[in-house]
């Protein structure tokens, strides 16, 4: 089974992905946890390029191709072999991030983004996608509370994240069987409990 977590930055998706993975491991599940971009030596190098605040000259299409290149390497080298061996794969972001961030956020042509996503994923589609939905005001509040500096993607501005969130909401509407929207404004434990109930119904 292939499970992905999606959401705008500081939505809490990574926290929830980690909690799910630990829950699965405690129950004896053979689970592999990955993040995008990353997960292979090549993909991690691409991640460094994408998130480096000094790389402001990266164009929107270059950004799209770099994310997709990292994904192709991860799918071929790690995800497909793991799924074939019967492991559960949990990934923090996958191609829906590209649709939301580069398609809706950057305003690239949706059909072009879908085509590149399809090529990069080599036919690999998540069985379940959990979209942790929070409003943009909350995202900026969490970012300020963290005290962390914004990376290149996080420095894109409020309008960008509004558009990305809208993108996720549209994606969820278009694939209701795969995409499940989770209210991310609630306590971490409440969100985790809901996610665990959902995953149990899909795995068992």
Please tell me the predicted confidence (pLDDT) of residue 111: 93
Instruction: Encode pLDDT of 98-151 as tens digits.
Output: 999 999 999 999 999 999 999 999 999 999 999 999 999 998 899 888 887 777
pTM here? 0.94
Instruction: Encode pLDDT of 42-52 as tens digits.
Output: 999 999 999 99
Instruction: Encode pLDDT of 162-187 as tens digits.
Output: 999 999 999 999 999 999 999 999 99
DSSP, collapsed to helix, strand or coil, labels residue 47 as helix
Other CB atoms within 10 Å distance of the CB of residue 37: 26
Instruction: Encode pLDDT of 81-99 as tens digits.
Output: 999 999 999 999 999 999 9
> Looking at 36-189, which runs of residues are DSSP E strands?
88-92, 128-133, 179-183
Q: Is the Cα torsion angle 166, 167, 168, 173 positive or negative in sign?
A: positive
Please tell me the predicted confidence (pLDDT) of residue 16: 98
Say if residues 1 and 30 touch (Cβ distance below 8 Å): no
Name the pLDDT band for 204 (thresholds 50, 70, 90): low
- Kindly tell me if the per-residue pLDDT of 154 is higher than 80: no
Q: Which residues contact 30 (CB under 8 A, 6 or more apart)?
A: 86, 87, 88
Instruction: Encode pLDDT of 24-77 as tens digits.
Output: 999 999 999 999 999 999 999 999 999 998 888 999 999 999 999 999 999 999
Q: Give the domain CATH number at 147.
A: 3.40.50.300
Please tell me the predicted confidence (pLDDT) of residue 156: 77
Range of the domain at 54: 2-203
Number of domains in the chain: 1
Pairing of strands 2-6, 179-183: unpaired
Q: How does DSSP classify residue 78?
A: I
CA 192 to chain centre: 17
Region 9-21: what's the mean pLDDT?
97
- Kindly tell me if the per-residue pLDDT of 153 is higher than 80: no
* Cross-strand bridge partners of residue 133: 183
């Amino acid at each position: 089974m292939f499970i992905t977590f999606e959401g705008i930055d500081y939505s809490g998706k990574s926290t929830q992905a980690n909690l799910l993975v630990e829950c699965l491991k405690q129950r004896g599940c053979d689970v592999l946890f990955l993040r995008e971009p990353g997960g292979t030596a090549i993909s991690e190098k691409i991640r460094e390029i994408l998130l480096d605040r000094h790389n402001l000259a990266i164009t929107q299409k270059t950004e799209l191709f770099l994310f997709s290149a990292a994904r192709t390497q991860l799918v071929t080298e790690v995800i497909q072999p793991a799924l074939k061996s019967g492991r559960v794969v949990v990934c923090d972001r996958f191609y829906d991030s590209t649709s939301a961030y580069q398609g809706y956020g950057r305003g690239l042509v949706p059909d072009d983004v879908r085509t590149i996503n399809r090529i990069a994923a080599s036919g690999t589609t998540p069985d379940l996608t959990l979209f942790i939905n929070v409003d943009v005001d909350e995202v900026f509040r969490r970012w300020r509370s963290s005290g962390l500096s914004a990376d290149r993607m996080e420095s894109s501005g409020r309008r960008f994240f509004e558009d990305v969130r809208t993108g996720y909401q549209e994606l969820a509407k278009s694939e209701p069987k795969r995409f499940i929207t989770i209210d991310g404004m609630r306590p971490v434990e409440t969100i985790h409990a809901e996610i665990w109930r959902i995953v149990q119904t899909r795995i068992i």
